[in-house]
Structure 1
Amino acid sequence: MREQGPLYDNPVDQEIWGMASGEVYRTLQSTLGRSRTVQAPLLLVLIFASVLAGKTLSKPSGTSGEPAEVQDSFQFVTHSYSNYLPTLLGNGYLSTSTPWNGTSASAAALAGLYDHLEQNSYAYQALVPSWNGFDYWNGSHWLDSLSPAKAHLEGYLQTLDIYHGLLTTRFDWVDGDHVTHIRIIEFASRQEPHLGVVQVELTPDYGVTVGPVTFSFPLGGEIGPPFVWEGAELPGAIPIRSVRADGDLHGYVADCETRDGRTRVVEAVRVGLPSSLPPMHQVNLGFSPNLASPALNVKFIVQAGKTYTFTKFVAVYSSLDSQSPASQAQALARQAEAAGFDQVLQEHEVAWQKLWTTDILIRGDVEAQRAVHAAMYYLFSELRAGSDASIPAMALPSRAYLGRIWWDADTWVFPAVLALHPELARSIIDYREKRLAAAEQNARERGYRGALYPMESAHSGEEAAPEWSSEIHVTGDVAMAQWRYYQATGDTAWLRSHGYPVIKAVADFWASRATYDHQHHDYQILHVTGPNEAITDVGNDAYTNAVAKRTLEVATDAARLLSETPDPEWARVAAGLVIPFDEHRQVHLEHSGDEQGKYAHALILLTYPLDLKLSASVVQNDLNACLKNFGKPGYEVGMLGNFYSIVASQLGDRDLAYKLFLSMIRSYAQPPFEQMTETPSNGRAVFLTAESAFLQQIVFGFTGLRWTDEGLKPVYPPLLPPTWQSLELRGVKSRGNIYNIRVTSANKLVMTQVGR
């Protein structure tokens, strides 16, 4: 390993690394042979085998490096509504799934809002009544009553503008001899987290001959198959308990409650009416108080060729974030209506543009650029500064994994977001700190000291899935994220008051959880489940023991940094912890007893992100062991392959790193919106764990950067994919400074301070 180079405190470009060198690991043919024999999902096997064999897969056309190409990487377009895979709109608090036609009510959620099937049962992510729905009666049919198979929509175009956080849908609805030109714009306001906005523009080519038409603005009404998770069928959105119309019949309020009775949610609607309406005595304003789907209805006779533009403002508050959710929701909805669509949209767009002042730019690979921007958008959409809700593995409003918080947040999401937007990443560590008391109680109940964080956590921080309580490595993941935040910021005041109490409590847990083996004179951690959940109740899981070791070492370092006295047991246990290793083959074992490497899966985590001091040959052997299983059933989840690529870069194997990188895009990023699924075939999206792991390949893999005790530092030579002209990380934050970091095609890294 080369010595760490300095970060520079002046705006003069500094060359940090020269051309990378070193022996390149090449086992492509043997890996190809393995991938042909395993019974993996077909898509992953074909794509992974293809890239390893060096086959060329089709890429989007266009010339790389032009400004228009970069701009295009923020626009995701579809002309087809058959087999529609929805994506999301979100602002870190309020989120919704995108409807195929832009009008149908779709699932919606609030970050951190959980419910229970029964009293004292385990928590699951609650849905709130859909806020984005709109319907239209053209004199013959309701628009939303038509399925994709039955709808006749001409000129269909849906655009997800991720630079501005907007979904726009356009089409001509052809219903017999009636044609209606429709455009819908919707967004969850980035500026005002409690606000969702939908604007509908309709131009009918018919008029009085069809009689009155109706424009309807409902809440709720989502239609879809029941959601079943691990045998349990979850109910839909939380029920609306009461509704009341505003006096002017331009809006209404819906009062909702979670099924466990613990949380109140209020949604207030205001509808901005078009100036092109007929005189009000010719307009019928009505309100339907149906609790399943209340709606404001506007009925009148349209004129052929005239455009009617309605704007629906929906404000959402819960008793978790407001003592007066009803009054605050009503006030915000009215404020938005008074400000008008253009102003609310402008404020929303400006807020998104501020997020994009931090960016990742790739010259020479349009496909990679689009995937990177998509990943950034999905992560930004689920995080918010000032929130302590953290981030689930699957983006809301999906309820896969019940919307709970896993180690995914601390290890897979946090490091990359920390470099891009530490104010967003802070949500992840604040969530853990505020649930320290619950983790301490969890440890006490099991007879241990310190804090034991649950593998699956919801609002309270209590153990949400006792059946997985043996997967205790998450506790170390939590502590390491706290330490990384200190590494990134250098904020010792924060460390003393917030981070160190968590790190210390976790170290105390590991010291009490490890047992001393008098026969072998070492410490062991027995009866656990590691990251490879295919096998449970193992001894000395490599990753569990390694993250415990690193936590104990970090706790000692943090104590000394703060002039505290570290517990000497921390260092003693850290030095003696067993990490299973085959001396003959010079390779780690997934856990004690896995001498044949049958379960090799997460060994590479010892190198990245834990950064254990290992020889290059051992790292190579660990990577080889993992690649033997990569793609097999149970080993194709879209997260670890990204870290395999990072380690390949660290070893200087550019070809393998790039081919793994490509396999992540082409196996997991689904068209048309490039959202990553959990596996190539299960359709669960948006899998945020994979999105951020993918970004870590860029931020830490191809650049050689790492979080160190001195901030973000180049630790390994940069190594760009062969087709890339350059890679630029723009607006990266480290130790209170802002940097632009550029890697050239000659693999030279230049770091420029551009602000504080």
Structure 2
Amino acid sequence: MKIAMRIHAICFILGIILSVTSLKAEEERLWQLHAVDIQAPYAPAPMANGCIGILPQKEPFAVEHVMLNHVFDAASPHVVSRVMRGINPFCLSMKIDNKKVDTSNISGWQQTIDMRRAVHRTGFHALEKADVSYELCALRNLPYAGLIRVTIQACKDMLLEVRSEMGIPDDYSQSSIRYREMEADGNRMYMLESDATSRFGYRRVASTSSFLFNGEQIKPMYDEATRELFFSIQLKKGETFCFSLVGSVCSSRDFFDPYNEAERQVIYAVHEGEEALMQAHYRLWDELWQGDIRIEGDDDAQRIVRFALFNLYSSCRGGSRLSIPPMGLSLQGYNGHIFWDTELWMYPPMLLLNQDIARSMLDYRFDRLPAARKKALAYGYRGAMFPWESDDSGEEATPTHALTGPFEHHITADIGIACWNYYCVTRDVRWLQREGYPLLKEIADFWTSRVTRNQDGSYSIHNVTGADEYANGVTDNAFTNGAASLALKYACQAAEICGEKVPEIWREIGENIRVLQFENGVTREHSTYKGEMIKQADANLLAYPLGLITDEYRQRQDLEYYAERIDQKDGPAMSYSVYCVQYARMGEADKAYEMFRRCYEPNLRKPFGVISETPTSNNPYFMTGAGGLLQAVLNGFCGLQITDEGIVQLPSALPSHWKRVTVTGVGSDKKTYVRER
């Protein structure tokens, strides 16, 4: 009897262990994205750390380019600025028995993006002689550096040769590559180095790379003819060999002496060692993932939503005083400039889940307040007038052929709303006094000089481009007017908290800006709008995120009227996310889920689920779409809302097959919110 009871107890314990192990494996699976067919369509996914972005490709060891955050040069003579690609120190190639490893001689290829650890893994069988795997990451702990870790298991006796070179894109006019061997505190180091001047001379960029051998005594050589650093080693069948390549990229934007800093960062990495570097990288990503979204009942949605969050986390970092361009750190799309995409789409999820990153995005605007003042003065207005497209200078960087630069003024109100919401979440009165209110005051002064008073005492805003950029030079654009009225209201509230006198004109204008309607009560996008195709949601933004239309009947009218007027071919990804939020809050789960799917499915690109800007484009990750997708879940299905009293959870409905949404790490006190069916 006792033996039987013991066997039963042991079986019971083993069952628990197996169950827990199975649950952990299932949970781990939801953190990973896979590719298994090298011949299939392939949209690359960037690996970034807020300062550099590395774009891996499917070919063995291929890295398309390295993007630099907010490092600009002119795109061409007398043309606006364009963000630069960096010198690429991650150019690896491999030979086995003197034959180069490439797509023609590998099998069993697969790639995995591990979102939890922020690494991009590739594995394959090469030349029927070796199993090769490597993982690439943009180090979170060294924001100007990245690491590639390689493991080779020999299936036969073989000669392995590995080469590293510097990739210098055509963003540069002058460049040099050199080899340096040096000793630091008894450690012999062998480094490949490069520096270059941008094509039009705005910036200098430097890069350094070095192999790491985990204590093995291997001396790399320098090939003068090809300007490559290389090593070779004989491997026996069954032997496993590991090495890493660490590379850094620094610019004169961030360092007075980028050449020596790039070298210094690699020396630091060599002394730290691969394991310490990776453990610090994992630790910082664990901290980021305190703010997470968990969806039970829909594994596909879980991965897509988490990938959106992963990409936003990758694109910025607290303390950098930088923001996020529409394409993040994946490529040069939109010249790497900062738009309303930041404040209206990407910033709200960051404000809920990571206030350090949100603060950085606001710091970016505050630092460029003097330039915004100059722009207002240049156009005959008071206060601060922020550019539609901002580069590092904070001046207008929109190409001159685009009317959005001179006329898309709602960006100034969008920044004011973001500023107030930061205070609502953090309740940081000192920040409001020192930075928030001064910024809001300048924005309010701009709008008082921008509006026109009508005979009936109402106010209009003439000659603008609204969120719907297909309509230029219109009067009383719904979103522009609504955003301006809120910016004025928040400036009044901030003044009262800071003990400042509130100009009466702010209140008068804010309460009397026109929002037009058709005869049937549908919000009219602008004074001459007659139902034509629109680029993206505009009038619908008055219900969410602005919260100016609260009546459900009016919201539903606006939703039904405008949803099918959006450009289905070239409209950007995020419009349907605001529809999802509104339907979810009205309790219409099926309609909300329909809109949720429409805000990303047409834009998904294989194999990892990269979201492109439009249903017909194929750019790498569109960060604006990520922001919209996250708002659909956070503010829609989970019902989170930022109010004057802080974060609250409103009633909302989940899709019928979703069991639960759990959002962790919300707000300054890192609260957890749950929505169940």
TM-score, normalised via structure 1 length: 0.81
Change (3 A) 1:559 1:725: same
Cα deviation for residue 665 of structure 1 reads: 4.0
Aligned residue for 1:723?
657
* Aligned AA (1:674): G
Aligned residue for 2:130?
180
1: CA distance, partners of 2:545 / 2:537: 14
Change (3 A) 1:389 1:452: same
Matched residue SS, 1:132: strand
Matched residue SS, 1:106: strand
Aligned residue for 1:436?
369
* Aligned AA (2:675): V
Aligned residue for 2:34?
77
CA offsets per residue over residues 640-681 of structure 1, 9 Å max, x none? Answer: 100111011222222100111123343223332222111223
Matched residue SS, 2:150: strand
1:447 matched to 2:380? The reply is yes
Does the aligned pair in 2 maintain the 1:126–1:238 contact within 8 Å? no
Aligned residue for 2:100?
142
State which drifts further: 161-170 or 261-270: 261-270
Does the aligned pair in 2 maintain the 1:239–1:257 contact within 8 Å? yes
Does the aligned pair in 2 maintain the 1:514–1:525 contact within 8 Å? yes
Aligned residue for 2:606?
671
Aligned residue for 1:14?
none
2: CA distance, partners of 1:517 / 1:221: 58
Aligned residue for 2:64?
106
CA offsets per residue over residues 680-727 of structure 1, 9 Å max, x none? Answer: 23112201111111111111111222111111012x312122111111
What does 1:567-586 align with in structure 2 at a 5 Å threshold? Answer: 567-582=503-518, 584-586=519-521
Q: Which has the higher contact order (CA 8 A, sep 6+)?
A: 1
1:608 matched to 2:540? The reply is no
Does the aligned pair in 2 maintain the 1:220–1:237 contact within 8 Å? no
2: CA distance, partners of 1:237 / 1:395: 22
1: CA distance, partners of 2:393 / 2:89: 27
Matched residue SS, 1:219: strand
Matched residue SS, 1:255: strand
2: CA distance, partners of 1:426 / 1:275: 41
1: CA distance, partners of 2:333 / 2:521: 39
Aligned residue for 1:354?
287
1:456 to 374, 383, 389: 389
1:683 to 607, 618, 621: 618
- Residues matched between the structures, number: 645
Cα deviation for residue 85 of structure 1 reads: 1.3
Aligned residue for 2:162?
215
Does the aligned pair in 2 maintain the 1:217–1:296 contact within 8 Å? yes
* Aligned AA (1:443): A
State which drifts further: 118-127 or 496-505: 118-127
Does the aligned pair in 1 maintain the 2:531–2:565 contact within 8 Å? no
1: CA distance, partners of 2:55 / 2:367: 29
Does the aligned pair in 1 maintain the 2:205–2:250 contact within 8 Å? yes
- Matched residues, percent identical? 28
CA offsets per residue over residues 190-212 of structure 1, 9 Å max, x none? Answer: 1221221112223445557xxx6
1:697 matched to 2:647? The reply is no
What does 1:52-71 align with in structure 2 at a 5 Å threshold? Answer: 66-71=23-28
1:708 matched to 2:661? The reply is no
2:195 to 248, 251, 255: 255
* Aligned AA (2:280): E
Does the aligned pair in 2 maintain the 1:395–1:685 contact within 8 Å? no
Gaps of 5+ in 2: 1-21, 183-187
Matched residue SS, 2:64: coil
* Aligned AA (2:411): V
2: CA distance, partners of 1:478 / 1:540: 20
Aligned residue for 1:58?
none
Does the aligned pair in 1 maintain the 2:121–2:135 contact within 8 Å? yes
2: CA distance, partners of 1:678 / 1:239: 34
* Aligned AA (2:46): L
CA offsets per residue over residues 382-425 of structure 1, 9 Å max, x none? Answer: 01010112001112131111111010000101111111111111
Matched residue SS, 1:271: strand
Does the aligned pair in 2 maintain the 1:128–1:237 contact within 8 Å? no
Cα deviation for residue 274 of structure 1 reads: 6.4
CA offsets per residue over residues 518-561 of structure 1, 9 Å max, x none? Answer: 3x542211111111112211111111111111111111111111
CA offsets per residue over residues 550-578 of structure 1, 9 Å max, x none? Answer: 11111111111111112222122222211
2: CA distance, partners of 1:75 / 1:633: 30
* Aligned AA (1:108): V
1: CA distance, partners of 2:172 / 2:239: 37
Cα deviation for residue 183 of structure 1 reads: 1.1
1:471 matched to 2:405? The reply is no
1: CA distance, partners of 2:486 / 2:411: 13
Change (3 A) 1:523 1:562: same
2: CA distance, partners of 1:238 / 1:707: 49
Gaps of 5+ in 1: 1-64, 223-234, 746-756
Matched residue SS, 2:117: coil
* Aligned AA (1:531): A
CA offsets per residue over residues 187-236 of structure 1, 9 Å max, x none? Answer: 1111221221112223445557xxx65310112167xxxxxxxxxxxx45
Cα deviation for residue 429 of structure 1 reads: 0.7
Cα deviation for residue 613 of structure 1 reads: 4.1
Change (3 A) 1:560 1:275: closer
State which drifts further: 503-512 or 658-667: 658-667
Change (3 A) 1:338 1:361: same
Cα deviation for residue 480 of structure 1 reads: 0.8
2:595 to 660, 668, 693: 660
Matched residue SS, 2:110: strand
Cα deviation for residue 314 of structure 1 reads: 1.2
1: CA distance, partners of 2:235 / 2:30: 39
1:536 to 464, 472, 477: 472
2:426 to 481, 489, 499: 489
Matched residue SS, 2:63: coil
2: CA distance, partners of 1:125 / 1:111: 7
Change (3 A) 1:682 1:138: same
Matched residue SS, 2:670: strand
Aligned residue for 2:17?
none
Cα deviation for residue 310 of structure 1 reads: 2.0
1: CA distance, partners of 2:92 / 2:229: 10
Matched residue SS, 2:88: coil
Aligned residue for 1:18?
none
Cα deviation for residue 265 of structure 1 reads: 2.0
Does the aligned pair in 1 maintain the 2:424–2:645 contact within 8 Å? yes
CA offsets per residue over residues 354-404 of structure 1, 9 Å max, x none? Answer: 111222111111111111111111111101010112001112131111111
* Aligned AA (1:457): S
* Aligned AA (1:198): I
Matched residue SS, 1:385: coil
Cα deviation for residue 445 of structure 1 reads: 0.4
Aligned residue for 1:342?
275
Change (3 A) 1:515 1:471: same
Aligned residue for 2:9?
none
Aligned residue for 1:589?
524
Aligned residue for 1:627?
563
CA offsets per residue over residues 312-336 of structure 1, 9 Å max, x none? Answer: 1112222222233333322221221
Cα deviation for residue 305 of structure 1 reads: 4.3
1: CA distance, partners of 2:582 / 2:475: 26
What does 1:127-276 align with in structure 2 at a 5 Å threshold? Answer: 127-143=85-101, 146=102, 148=103, 151-174=104-127, 179-205=129-155, 207=157, 214-220=161-167, 235-236=170-171, 240-247=175-182, 250-273=190-213
1: CA distance, partners of 2:119 / 2:414: 34
Matched residue SS, 1:320: coil
* Aligned AA (1:331): R
1: CA distance, partners of 2:578 / 2:89: 38
1:740 matched to 2:672? The reply is yes
State which drifts further: 502-511 or 318-327: 318-327
